[in-house]
Amino acid sequence: MAVAVCMGATMMCSFGVAPGSLVVIPSGQAMTPAVPSADTTSFAPIANIPSFGSCTSMSNPSVASATSAALGVLTPMPCVPVTSSPWTPGVSTVVDGASAAVDSSCTLMCNWGGSISVLNPGQTVVMAG
C-alpha cells in the first residue's frame, strides 16, 4: 500500500536538479495526522509545487535559448514549474473533499516534460488505498 501524501512531502522533477517540498493549502480537507493531506488538485505552480532548483529540459524555452546561446552546451536555467493538470492517478477510494487523495505512487507532469514524483510522502502513519 502506498502512503498518503501531505504538507511537506519531498518531491523531485525528472528535469530538476534539487528536490522540493509540497505545499498543501489548508482548506477543510483531511489531515494526516496533524498536517493537511494532498488531493489531486494540489498542483498549482509555486503555490503547491515549488521550484526544483534549475531546469534541464530542452522543452523549456529558457533552457533551449540559453543552450543555443552556449553553442549547444546544455545550460540549465531556473526552474519555474508549469503544472496544468492534476496528480495522476489519484486514489479514488480515498476522497479528500471533492477530489481523490494523492499517495506516494502518484505523479504530476510539468508542461516542460518533467515527471514529478514523491520521494518522501511527509508522514508514515495514514495509509491510502
Name the nearest CA neighbour of 45 among 55, 37, 34: 55
* Distance (Å, whole) CA 115 – CA 108: 6
pLDDT (mean) for 70-87: 98
Domain spans, the chain: 10-120
Condensed to tens digits (0 to 9), the pLDDT of residues 88-108 reads 999 888 776 678 889 999 999
Tell me the per-residue pLDDT of 34-60, one tens digit each, with 9 for 90 and over.
Answer: 788 899 999 999 999 999 999 999 999
pTM recorded for the entire structure: 0.89
**pLDDT value at residue 25:** 86
Q: Which positions ≥6 away from 100 have C-beta within 8 Å? A: 39, 40, 90, 91, 92, 94
